[in-house]
Structure 1
């Protein structure tokens, strides 16, 4: 394991064997449930000739992995950090794989939280890639006292403990011949999938064949199809051309697993059709026509290849190419949607419109849902003011234009409310009016558009709401699009679409300081969900009814936590005026108690994984 408290990975089979869930720090555990995305309304009506790629997998091989910007508590108060690599086009992605050259790559909690918030499942990587690893991997089929595969059980338990969704099995070295059995490998995969449970996934990479040879097939063949049959998903190597694509399509169709076959594209080129980079669209179009799924390896090319220069424009251009062939997914779930437009980094941080620190910071787990549609000059992400976080959406359209921001699939209900926070001046002239609009899709297929004007009474942040009452709507109607219209000078701070909720706000207990462990802890109540919250994306086993916490020392913001604990620096005083405020899943602030901090010397270096011990 690493020597830092900020990351967890395993470097050997022995470390994998020795890992125990009770040693896991709550800081490294994802607290954000995987949002269940609605089915895109556009994909339901598409013909086979125009149907886009339904599932895009991205394999995040970025500069070796495990960077400070990905750390569990982020980085606060640093100097000029420059532009940070973030994944801002998750609405085009279905699966995110965290990849590094460790034996077991456990995704950092910030990546899990951000991906889950966007409805993207997250997989770790089990990697065997050299002769030493090959000898170690001879232990892979070891069994326990009850006949179970020890390492399949460990991998499943690791995913459940840290809150991610499964594994990429990347076997790029042969196993010792005396240890090899293709049938055993299939049984191992079967047991791993069963251990992950419903919603868990295993992806087999196209390297090792049933003959125990690393021979990249660049598609499905008889030499690797048994592993797809066991895993349910397959990541083809990048060297395919028309012949391999055609044979793979035929074999996947015969197996009934077209939705689980991801044809690989290396963003660096290295033998990929189209040469990688901005040429990935060539390969994606061929995959689209074949009716299979796609996998992008190392999309961080947009940062690495150009060494971060002009990164946002490069990233925008790259994902604009991808968007031509990949089906975008709706934001939120069937019950609602929330965004504060936060990008997971910034210079300064605002809480309820008040700037509480001017420090530079990065926390990838704090990234909110960002607009799906390209700006086309109609809006910009603005860091000069924000309502919650470090960013707002500055609107700059021409009068009369309707500008879409988000695709949705929210079930209409009589008590569905749109709440929005904004600041700026709105014109009283009807021809130059500015406001929010939403579109409803009715069971008949008819669409209706509805509008709500910004009514500006001051230049400070204002919060308004509107009941999405519509006499033509039924319980089978859907809110499918959200955007704005008109000109004016307006900054949007947040958008929330949800049912009226009269449930009491959570409460936070006083902070406890642990001297021996150099950490703070607290609890959240109620410690159990309502029946409605239990089945939604607004409840966490770790942090209950709160999404994250602001950790204060007096009036100084010390950091952000996505767990009910916060690790302090080694030399940092544990005592003092610590307070924790919570942020609900809908962006509301719950102020914690300002009581004297209890200090305990418990000698315990790890905290429980739930908030209400």
Structure 2
């Protein structure tokens, strides 16, 4: 990679879960420190001392049992299976180009393990187009090996997207030292590569899906190149045994030098063969990509295992890209797409005024295109958005399924339409499975605007807002593969804020026969009234499989209508309560909590403080079984604080609380 593009950032998660403790065995609370995502050097550390807030660690000496932050950092959501419904338009294709995203979510050091008290965050939601996420970053002064933090992995896994940690051996101009490359590929007395084993162990303990290897430190020779190749082969072999994967970056060549090829050729072919995929550097041309695809085929490999780098860090959708060289409209795709730093959609906005709504408007423009409707791409748009070329995917294939359209950040926290915390927040692990086609509206009349909105919500931090003229419009929500039984019902929680609108649930039991067509919906009336309303609809007359779910709105003018939640179920299920809630660390108003999850399906846990007046204040939620809260203070006259943790099921039903008190 050209070093002028490098902005060294992000962080990573340590993690493998703490062993469960009984209430009787709970140790006395130690000091409470903020847990952060982890980062390492391969073995040797820099000379001197780390900067403020930085901890230098050696991966070679990492042991799960020695990490006090394990329970805060390990993902708990398994990688979901995906399917591909009929494409939303006639140009999007399945089984050809895939999309990889290299994203920096935060700084390398001091990146909180479980979200933070700001809504200003790159809350990625367009997972339906992504096939691999790389937790990008690293810094010569902080650490080079990043394990993705748990909230990112949990959100990605819900949408069926594997997440890779990053190994960044920096260019010399950015502080890279060749010794760190030698450390990574060192061999033991038996000729094995101990850090390959350690990397696979980290990914297994933390619950993510493999590694992105980026060796850009120049000065190597053919012996180092051979060692890197041996290391990569062993890493892939060990990773495959654990269901993990390895992607190689087109940087180091087989002779040990760093020379970005912009192609698959004799200089990097051996590394490609030793990995699952390769990110082709930005120096590609149309001819280079064409020859690279042919060469991959000659090797018995799939040309779509090559990610053609598209640098959007500086200009986003204004970037100049030869799209026909990657994803031509009139013939088979040539290669896959590797987006470098698509978080431009957040970063280009004014830092002192960017709201969640501003971010999602920009992010929708990036992934969907200027039309903001993937069923109707704008042919005059020079930015060929992913929705134009790549078919979206879904993971909604079983019950129970529910969504409250939580994007993973918000200005407040809502429960049953009431604000239980007025503090801004972000935590990607709380993100729902979200509609993949944003936003497809079928109408012969006027088209209203559809957005995620943060001014009000049923639960979480956001709702879907339909705002504008409505004659008769059908909004696609989810592509599904849910079997219908006699007990299957769909619940819809909604509210009309302005205007008059009739609401119907739209359910299709068959795929559209042509791409971009409206599904063959059956419409069921939905009860309305003042305030938030939850209607339960039985799918009378439908059999087989639910293939699509939407809503039909019929009005006579300007409308503001909110969708707060949807659930598909056969039975109502409530999770059991967690046990052994305890405070494991306390430093003034900073507390560490831990608990034992109850058996059964639990989506996440919520932590509340019970105030002296009897109200409950939301402090946070997490998919893990430990949580940190900072900056608490006693209420007027309060001698001890009371806390509750509840399990939240897939249907957003909540358990009875586990409780604990903390004496000030």
Give the TM bin, normalised by the shorter chain: 0.7 to 0.9
**Distance in 2 separating the partners of 1:336 and 1:505:** 13
Matched length: 560
- TM alignment of 1:469-488, pairs within 5 A: 469-471=540-542, 473-474=543-544, 477-487=545-555
**Distance in 2 separating the partners of 1:322 and 1:39:** 15
Deviation at 1:479, TM superposition (A): 1.1
Q: Is 2:619 the partner of 1:558?
A: yes
User: Where do 5+ consecutive residues of structure 2 fail to align?
Assistant: 1-10, 13-32, 45-57, 370-384, 440-446
Over the residues paired in the alignment, what is the CA RMSD in angstroms? Answer: 3.4
C-alpha distance 312-578 of structure 1, shift in aligned 2 (>3 A): closer
Q: Is 2:641 the partner of 1:576?
A: yes
- TM alignment of 1:112-151, pairs within 5 A: 112-131=153-172, 132-144=176-188, 148-151=192-195
User: Where do 5+ consecutive residues of structure 1 fail to align?
Assistant: 270-275, 530-538, 540-544, 600-613
**Distance in 2 separating the partners of 1:586 and 1:303:** 31
CA contact under 8 A between 1:186 and 1:226: conserved in structure 2? no
Deviation at 1:303, TM superposition (A): 2.7
For normalisation by structure 1, the TM-score amounts to 0.82
**Distance in 1 separating the partners of 2:406 and 2:211:** 29
C-alpha distance 325-557 of structure 1, shift in aligned 2 (>3 A): same
C-alpha distance 153-448 of structure 1, shift in aligned 2 (>3 A): same
C-alpha distance 481-252 of structure 1, shift in aligned 2 (>3 A): farther
Q: Is 2:366 the partner of 1:318?
A: yes
C-alpha distance 515-172 of structure 1, shift in aligned 2 (>3 A): closer
**Distance in 2 separating the partners of 1:358 and 1:215:** 52
CA contact under 8 A between 1:119 and 1:332: conserved in structure 2? no
Deviation at 1:570, TM superposition (A): 8.0
C-alpha distance 337-455 of structure 1, shift in aligned 2 (>3 A): same
Deviations 1:97-121 (A, max 9, x none): 1111231011122211221122221
C-alpha distance 546-145 of structure 1, shift in aligned 2 (>3 A): farther
Q: Is 2:216 the partner of 1:172?
A: yes
* Aligned counterpart in structure 2 of residue 75 of structure 1, from 82, 105, 116: 116
Deviation at 1:83, TM superposition (A): 4.0
CA contact under 8 A between 2:604 and 2:621: conserved in structure 1? no
Q: Name the SS for the 1:441 alignment partner.
A: coil
Counterpart of 1:351 in structure 2 is: 415
CA contact under 8 A between 1:511 and 1:520: conserved in structure 2? yes
C-alpha distance 420-510 of structure 1, shift in aligned 2 (>3 A): farther
Q: Name the SS for the 1:511 alignment partner.
A: strand
Deviation at 1:5, TM superposition (A): 1.9
- TM alignment of 1:185-334, pairs within 5 A: 185-186=229-230, 188-195=232-239, 197=241, 199-254=243-298, 255-268=300-313, 277-279=316-318, 282-289=321-328, 290-308=333-351, 311-319=359-367, 320=369, 321-333=385-397
Deviation at 1:198, TM superposition (A): 5.1
Deviation at 1:380, TM superposition (A): 3.1
Q: Is 2:41 the partner of 1:41?
A: no
CA contact under 8 A between 2:197 and 2:238: conserved in structure 1? no
For normalisation by structure 2, the TM-score amounts to 0.76
Farther-moved stretch of structure 1 (113-122 vs 358-367):
358-367
C-alpha distance 468-196 of structure 1, shift in aligned 2 (>3 A): farther
Counterpart of 2:20 in structure 1 is: none
**Distance in 2 separating the partners of 1:462 and 1:515:** 42
Q: Is 2:656 the partner of 1:591?
A: yes
CA contact under 8 A between 2:105 and 2:122: conserved in structure 1? no
Q: Is 2:63 the partner of 1:20?
A: yes
Farther-moved stretch of structure 1 (563-572 vs 228-237):
563-572
**Distance in 2 separating the partners of 1:412 and 1:25:** 41
Q: Is 2:203 the partner of 1:159?
A: yes
Counterpart of 1:536 in structure 2 is: none
CA contact under 8 A between 1:347 and 1:390: conserved in structure 2? yes
**Distance in 1 separating the partners of 2:121 and 2:239:** 36
Deviations 1:225-247 (A, max 9, x none): 22121212111001211110110
**Distance in 2 separating the partners of 1:63 and 1:578:** 30
Deviation at 1:347, TM superposition (A): 2.3
Counterpart of 1:465 in structure 2 is: 536
